[in-house]
Amino acid sequence: MTDAPIYLDRSGDIAELVLNRADKKNALTQAMWEAVAALAAEIDADPAVKVLIVRSVTAEVFSAGADIGEFQAIASDPARRESNRVAVREAQRRLARLSKPTIAMIDGSCVGGGCGLALACDIRFAAPSARLGITPAKLGLIYSVQDAKNLVDLIGPAHAKSMLFTGRLVDAEEALRIGLVNALYPADSLTAETRAFAATIAANSQWGVRGIKRIVRLILDGVSDDTPETEAMFRDSFSGVDHQEGVAAFLARRKPNFPYR
């Protein structure tokens, strides 16, 4: 156990980014945003890790959002405003563009910057107690383009406007209905279901998984047809070691053991 407000916990192919400030409802300080970016880069460079889960140390709350205790200092200092903006942007961008799949495991409140953190993940699983919301309108603030785009890409402009204009919290059932989360699981099985899903991803070809994630990111960034990069990705996959192993395993009726890390 560590006292760090955010840390990594590794177990085999899967790592977990743990929000560890339960006494403050995992309110995110600028230092924590900076840590998210650094730890995401560390995971990207670690060949042992195939999937990253983002979770809270407690089942009571995922994150209450940005630490409002810092807002006065941020508002009164232009340099601090900019460093905070960059810290949030880089954390979410690093997480969203991590080469490896990411899963947010949400129990309890997931608000503001906490919801932004979850939106930067590829997949979101939640317990019935989950409540998700993004609340800049309640604080006289304006959401960034990157943050707003993550929400619009996921649930569409109409649902995004409904959430952003009102600052309301969406319950777990509505979150599932509008596509804000991928699935709901009982609180007592959320962790097991999330880790099992992560293990399923880890058992597949990481060459294939990461290539697919790259393709989806290009689509979200506005690419609508193949480019020389994506054409080469498609062609080169046929000569890759994972494709060879996948075909050999299929023909031998055994589970594949993909070598690419």
- pLDDT, tens digit (0-9, with 9 covering 90-100), for 40-96: 999 999 999 999 999 999 999 999 998 988 988 888 999 999 999 999 999 999 999
pLDDT at 46: 97
- The mean pLDDT of 104-127, rounded to a whole number, is 97
Query: With pLDDT > 90 as the criterion, what percentage of the chain qualifies?
Result: 92
pLDDT value at 143 more than 90: no
Q: How far apart are CA 184 and CA 254, in angstroms?
A: 32
- List the domains of the chain with CATH numbers: 6-201 (3.90.226.10), 204-252 (1.10.12.10)
Structure token digits, residue 232: 């080469």
Tell me what the pLDDT averaged over the chain comes to: 96
Q: How far apart are CA 200 and CA 194, in angstroms?
A: 10
The pLDDT tens digits of the residues spanning 159-178 come to 999 999 999 999 999 999 99
pLDDT at 1: 64
pLDDT at 69: 87
- Contact by Cβ (8 Å): 135, 112: yes
Rounded to two decimals, what is the model's pTM? Answer: 0.95
pLDDT at 68: 86
- The mean pLDDT of 238-255, rounded to a whole number, is 95
- The mean pLDDT of 177-203, rounded to a whole number, is 98
